[in-house]
Amino acid sequence: MDLIFKYDIHYTCKKIIQEKLDKLQADYTYSGVSEVKLKKELNPQQMDQLKQELAEYGINLVEDKKYLLVQRIKNAIVEMIHLNDEDLVNKTSVHLSEKLNLSYGYLSNVFTEVTMSTIENYIILQKIEMAKALLTKEELSLTEIAYKLNYSSVAHLSNQFKKKIGLTPSAFQRVLERRKQLKEIN
């Protein structure tokens, strides 16, 4: 018997982090996708325990300032694309600058220096991941998905999708449908 799991990686990580912080009786609040504000500092032993227990799940505490900023940029992008129920309408550069209170030029330079890629490329990857998730749910048309993700046209979405995935969105849907049919047979 095959077990197939569907999960929200952001929710899962948040729950793990909450469990570990609660275990340490930390006083905290979430201030972003994967950002926590501690109301009271943890002692060094607690920090070591937290790092060690989170590492078991592949979750690491970011401590380098540039890496921390890059993670905050990624979190803001993920939040904007994946966790926002509204359609994307704002210009990303303006959104990031306002959210992180830094110039977009600086954010872009640090991001590229640390990741060897651009913010724009990361945004495209996140939009494609979101498009895949929306296509999997089969609730929205390709036109609605393109609009929701702030693409100028379905053709623009399709071109980026094909460049990153190697399939058009329609071909991707056909592959999903074929897999579903095969699973039903078995």
pLDDT tens-digit series, residues 81-99 = 887 666 555 678 888 999 8
User: Does residue 110 register a pLDDT over 90?
Assistant: yes
65-185 CATH fold? Arc Repressor Mutant, subunit A (1.10.10)
What is the reported pLDDT for 97?
Answer: 92
Strands 28-30 and 36-38: antiparallel
pLDDT tens-digit series, residues 124-135 = 999 999 999 899
Rounded to 5 degrees, what are φ and ψ at 153?
-160, 165
Cα separation, 59 vs 171, whole angstroms: 34
**H or E stretch including 34?**
none
- Boundaries of every domain in the chain: 9-55, 65-185
pLDDT tens-digit series, residues 25-57 = 988 888 766 778 888 888 889 988 999 999 999
- Please state the pTM of the whole predicted model: 0.69
